[in-house]
Amino acid sequence: MKAINALPTKERMQIVERVIRTIRLDEKGSDSPSPSGDPWFDDPRNIAIVEEAIQSMKDGKGERIVLSSKEEIREFLANL
> pLDDT tens digit string along 23-57?
765 555 556 677 777 888 888 898 889 898 888 88
Domain boundaries, the chain: 1-37, 43-80
Q: What is the pTM of this model?
A: 0.45
Task: Report the alpha-carbon distance of residue 74 to residue 80 in Å, rounded.
Answer: 10
pLDDT mean over 46-75? 88
Give yes or no for a contact between 22 and 16, defined as CB atoms under 8 angstroms apart.
no
